[in-house]
Amino acid sequence: MKQVYLDNNATTRIDPMVLEAMMPFLTEHYGNPSSIHDFGGPSRGALERAHQQVASLLGADHASEIIFTSCATEATSTAIHSCIELMPERREIITTTVEHPATLAVCEHLERQGYLIHRINVNSNGALDMAHYQQALSTRVALVSVMWANNETGVIFPVETMAEMAHEYGALFHCDAVQAVGKVPIAVSKTRIDMLSCSAHKLHGPKGVGCLYLRRGTRFRPLLRGGHQERGRRAGTENIAGIVGMGSACELAQIHLPGMAAIGQLRDSLQDELVNIIPSVMVMGGNQPRVPGTANLAFEYIEGEAILLLLNQAGIAASSGSACTSGSLEPSHVMRAMDIPYTAAHGSIRFSLSRYTREKEIEYVIASLPPIIARLRLLSPYWQNGKPAAADAGFAPVYG
Amino acid sequence: MWNYSEKVKDHFFNPRNARVVDDANAVGDVGSISCGDALRLMLRVDPQSETILEAGFQTFGCGSAIASSSALTELIIGRTLSEAATVTNQQIADYLDGLPPQKMHCSVMGQEALLAAIADYRGETLADDHEEGKLICKCFGVDEGHIRRAVLTNGLTTLEEVINYTKAGGGCTSCHEKIELALADILAEQQAVPITFIAEKDPHWQEVVDAITELRPHIQADGGDMSLVNVANHKVTVSLSGSCSGCMMTDMTLAWLQQKLMERTGCFMEVVAA
C-alpha cells in the first residue's frame, strides 16, 4: 500500500547518512570519551565534532555552549530549574498558554510550590498577545520561556524581540526551539536568548538525544549531578552514537536549509487546494508567519480521530488536536488557547512535511482527503444537504 | 495506533444503517458539539406492535462513537420498544467485542439516544437523567443522575472508570472530588443490604451474619466495607470493597473474623475473600 508520512512534527525518519555516521559508535568505537587510553580517543573526537556541528546550525559562537542531553524535555527542565535556583529572590516565570508540556508541566509544578506563572495568551490566529507580555514583565520575573515555533500550528513567535524585552528586566530567556531548528535560519549568538532547547529526532536524527544551548557567561546549575561530562553541566556517560547522530543531522539540516522554501510551497499547495475543494475548513494560524512544513486544518462538523482512521486506511499518517486522539476528553490545549470554535476544534488535522515529502505524495493527499471529509460529513448530524445544518431546523440534542 | 477490536473497525469503516430515516416516528438526539460527540438516532416504529422496523443514525464523533451507533441500530432492529429499552451500553460494547476503557462513554451515548428516541415516540418529555440531581461536571454537563446510572449498570467503583464511562471530570478535573463523593454515596446505597441471601442456608448462617454485622462498622470507619457472599461447609465467603480492596491489612481482617466465628460456633470456620 502507498504510504505517505505527514507527521514530521511528531518525529522524522532518520537520514541514512546520519545512521552511517552513528554505526561505528555502536560497534567498534565503544570507548568512553572520558577514558585516557586509545579506546577513548575516537569517541572524544566525535563528541567534540558533534558540539561544533550543532553550534554551527544554531549560530552559536562557541562549541562549548552546547550541552548534550537525553532529549529536549530534559534540556527545558534543566534550563528552568537552573534559572530559578540561581535567582531565588525572583518568584515569577513567564511562559505561554501554547507551550509544549515539557515547559507547561514544569511551570505547573513550580506554581504549586508558590511561583507565580504568567501564561501569555494567543489570539484565534495563534499570535501571542504582546501587550499581555509587556504587562507581565517585571524585575520579579526570573525566567521567560517561549517556544520559537508552535508544534501544532507551526506559528513562529517573535522570540528575538521577546528576549530583548526580558533582559530589560534582568530576566533570563529560554527558548524551546524544537520545531524551528533546521526549518528556519537561527543565529542564536545574534540574539539575547540565553538558553535554547532542541532535539535530534525532529530533524532526521535519532531519538534519545537533544541539547541545551547555554550562552557563555550565563550562570548555570546542573540538573543531573555526578561525573564531569559536558564540563560538569550534565553528568552521565555520553550517548556517543546519539550525539554523533545529532551532530550529523544538524550538519545535513544546514545543507538542506535553502530547500525549506520548496517544502513551504508544497505545504501551501496542500493547504490551498484542500481549502478550495472542501467547504468549511479553517487554516489554523494561516495568516501568521509559520515554519515551512506545518499546516493545521480544521474540518468543521466532524471529528479528528475519525478523519485520521480513514486517512490511515488510505496510507496517510497525520495527527490531530482532537480530544479522542490524545486520550484526553478535550481538544488540545493549543486549540483551546486559540479559542477555536468547538465545531472546528474537534476536527483539526495537522499535516507536517519534511524534506522527504514529494509532490506526488501531496497530490495523493489532495485526491484522497475530500472524499473522506464528505463521507464523515454525510454521517454527521451537524451537516445536512451539503452544508452546516441550520440551527433551528437541525439537531436538538437533549444535553450539552 | 488504535487498540480497537476488528468488530469496531468493521463498524467504523462500514457503518450499518448510517442514513436519515425520512419517515421516522421516533427520534433521539444526544450529545453536543462541544463534547466532541453527538448522535441522532431515527426509528420507524410499527404503531400496532411497537416493533422497530427501521433504524438509522447520524453521528459526529470518533471511530468508536460511529461504531457504537452502528452496533446500536443492529441490536434494536426487529425488537419491540420495550425489548429495546432493556439494551444497556455494556451490550453495545459487547456486541463490538469490547471498547477501550476511555471510549466506553461512546456506548453510553448510544444507550442514551435510544432512551431519548423511545421517549420521543411515546410523546414523553424525556425522563432525562441529565436533568436529575445536581450538575457535577460543568465541562461536559454531566449530572449525578447520569453518573448514578453508569455506576449501577456497569458496576463502576473508581473515579477513573466514571470518567471513562461518562466523560464527567475529563475536562478541567475540578469536579473530581464531587465525583468521588457521589460515587461513595451510590456505592454506600448499594451496600445498604450487604448480605446476599442464598436459597439454601447453612446452619451457621445467622451466626456469621451477626459476626459480620458486628465487624462492619469498624471496617467502614477505615473507608472499607464487607458483605457476605456465601456460607457452606464451614467456609465463609465475603466480599471486600472500598479501601479494603488491595489493602495489605485485609488478611488481618479476615483472620479476625475467622477467630470470632470459631469462638461463636465452637467449630472450625474458614473465611475467604470472594
Strands A172-176 and A195-199: parallel
Using CA atoms of A286, A290, A293, A296 in order, give the dihedral in degrees to the nearest 10. Answer: -40
Q: What residues of B are in contact with residue A327 (Cβ under 8 Å)?
A: 102
Q: How far is A308 from chain B (nearest CA, A)?
A: 9
- Give the pLDDT band (50/70/90) at residue B3: confident
Q: Which of A161, A103, A102, A164 is nearest to A128 (CA)?
A: A161
Domains along the sequence of chain B with CATH? 6-121 (3.90.1010.10), 129-190 (1.10.10.1100), 205-273 (3.30.300.130)
Nearest CA in chain B to A348: B36
d(CA A116, CA B234): 63
**In this predicted model, what pLDDT tens digit does every residue of B116-173 receive, in sequence order?**
999 999 888 665 544 556 778 877 778 888 888 888 877 888 888 888 888 888 777 7
Winning range, highest mean pLDDT, from A377-386, A389-398, B248-257: A377-386
Strands A4-5 and A316-317: parallel
What integer pLDDT is reported at residue B146 of this predicted model? Answer: 81
Using CA atoms of B127, B131, B137, B141 in order, give the dihedral in degrees to the nearest 10. Answer: 80
pLDDT higher than threshold 90 for residue A218: yes
What integer pLDDT is reported at residue A326 of this predicted model? Answer: 57
Q: How far is B153 from chain A (nearest CA, A)?
A: 20
3-state secondary structure of A157: coil
pLDDT higher than threshold 90 for residue A362: yes
pLDDT higher than threshold 90 for residue B251: no
pLDDT higher than threshold 70 for residue B245: no
d(CA A362, CA A293): 12
Answer for the pair B228, B220: CB distance below 8 angstroms, yes or no: no
pLDDT higher than threshold 60 for residue A392: no
pLDDT higher than threshold 50 for residue A400: no
d(CA A326, CA A336): 14
Is B140 close to A400, i.e. CB distance below 8 A? Answer: yes
Q: What residues of A are in contact with residue B15 (Cβ under 8 Å)?
A: 379
What integer pLDDT is reported at residue A187 of this predicted model? Answer: 97
Give the 3-state secondary structure of chain B.
Answer: CCCCCHHHHHHHHCCCCCCCCCCCCEEEEEEECCCCEEEEEEEEECCCCCEEEEEEEEEECCHHHHHHHHHHHHHHCCCEHHHHCCCCHHHHHHHCCCCCHHHHHHHHHHHHHHHHHHHHHCCCCCCCHHHCCCEEECCCCEEHHHHHHHHHHHCCCCHHHHHHHHCCCCCCCCCHHHHHHHHHHHHHHHCCCCCCCCCCCCCCHHHHHHHHHHHHHHHHHCCEEEEEEEEECCEEEEEEEECCCCCCCHHHHHHHHHHHHHHHHCCCCEEEEC
Tell me how far CA of residue A34 lies from CA of A30, A38, A41, A63, in angstroms: 12, 11, 9, 18
> Is B58 in the A-facing interface, judged by CB distances under 8 Å?
yes
Q: How far is B168 from chain A (nearest CA, A)?
A: 9
Which of B39, B62, B140 faces A305 most closely, judged by CB atoms? B62
Is the full-model pTM beyond 0.95?
no
Higher pLDDT, B163 or A261: A261
Length of chain A counted residue by residue:
400
The residues near B188 (Cβ < 8 Å, ≥ 6 apart) are none
- Mutant choice from B39, B58, B118, B160 vs A, greatest count of A C-beta within 10 A: B58
Answer for the pair B39, B110: CB distance below 8 angstroms, yes or no: yes
Cell numbers standing for residue A341: 470554535
Average pLDDT, chain A: 94
pLDDT higher than threshold 60 for residue B193: no
- Give the pLDDT band (50/70/90) at residue B177: confident
Q: Which of A261, A318, A315, A267 is nearest to A294 (CA)?
A: A267
What integer pLDDT is reported at residue B248 of this predicted model? Answer: 67
Cite the active site residues of A.
324
What integer pLDDT is reported at residue B274 of this predicted model? Answer: 75
**In this predicted model, what pLDDT tens digit does every residue of B32-63 receive, in sequence order?**
777 778 999 999 999 999 999 999 999 999 99
Higher pLDDT, B150 or A371: A371
Among A157-171, A218-232, A265-279, B230-244, which is the least confidently predicted range? B230-244
Is A400 close to B33, i.e. CB distance below 8 A? Answer: yes
Residue B8: CA atoms inside 13 Å, Cβ hemisphere, count? 22
Q: What angle do CA A257, A262, A266 make, to 5 degrees?
A: 135
Taking residues A252-267, what's their average pLDDT?
A: 97
ipTM of the complex model: 0.84
Is A400 close to B12, i.e. CB distance below 8 A? Answer: no
Taking residues B14-41, what's their average pLDDT?
A: 89
Residue A49: CA atoms inside 13 Å, Cβ hemisphere, count? 18
pLDDT higher than threshold 70 for residue B198: no
Q: Which of A97, A356, A106, A67 is nearest to A213 (CA)?
A: A67
- Mutant choice from A329, A375, A380 vs B, greatest count of B C-beta within 10 A: A329
Superfamily of domain A4-9+258-388: Aspartate Aminotransferase, domain 1 (3.90.1150.10)
pLDDT higher than threshold 70 for residue B267: yes
pLDDT higher than threshold 80 for residue A321: no
Residues B248-259: b if buried by 16+ CB within 10 A, e if exposed: eebeebbeebbe
**What stretch(es) of chain A map to CATH 3.90.1150.10?**
4-9+258-388
What integer pLDDT is reported at residue A51 of this predicted model? Answer: 98
d(CA B24, CA B41): 9
Q: How far is B59 from chain A (nearest CA, A)?
A: 5
Answer for the pair A76, A176: CB distance below 8 angstroms, yes or no: yes
Give the 3-state secondary structure of A277-342.
Answer: HCCCEEECCCCCCECCCEEEEEECCCCHHHHHHHHHHCCEECEECCHHHHCCCCCCHHHHHCCCCH
What integer pLDDT is reported at residue A272 of this predicted model? Answer: 97
Answer for the pair A398, B125: CB distance below 8 angstroms, yes or no: no
Strands A281-283 and A210-214: unpaired
Nearest CA in chain B to A313: B13
- Give the pLDDT band (50/70/90) at residue A230: very high
DSSP H helical ranges for chain A: 16-22, 40-58, 72-86, 101-112, 130-136, 159-168, 229-232, 240-256, 260-277, 304-313, 323-326, 333-337, 342-345, 359-379
**What stretch(es) of chain A map to CATH 3.40.640.10?**
16-256
What integer pLDDT is reported at residue B272 of this predicted model? Answer: 84
CATH of A16-256, one of 3.90.950.10, 3.30.565.10, 3.40.640.10, 3.40.190.10: 3.40.640.10
pLDDT higher than threshold 60 for residue A233: yes
For chains A and B, CB pairs below 8 A equal 109
> Is B61 in the A-facing interface, judged by CB distances under 8 Å?
yes
Taking residues A21-32, what's their average pLDDT?
A: 96
Cite the active site residues of B.
35, 106
Q: Which residue has the cell 548534550?
A: A68
Nearest CA in chain A to B61: A303
- Give the pLDDT band (50/70/90) at residue B199: very low
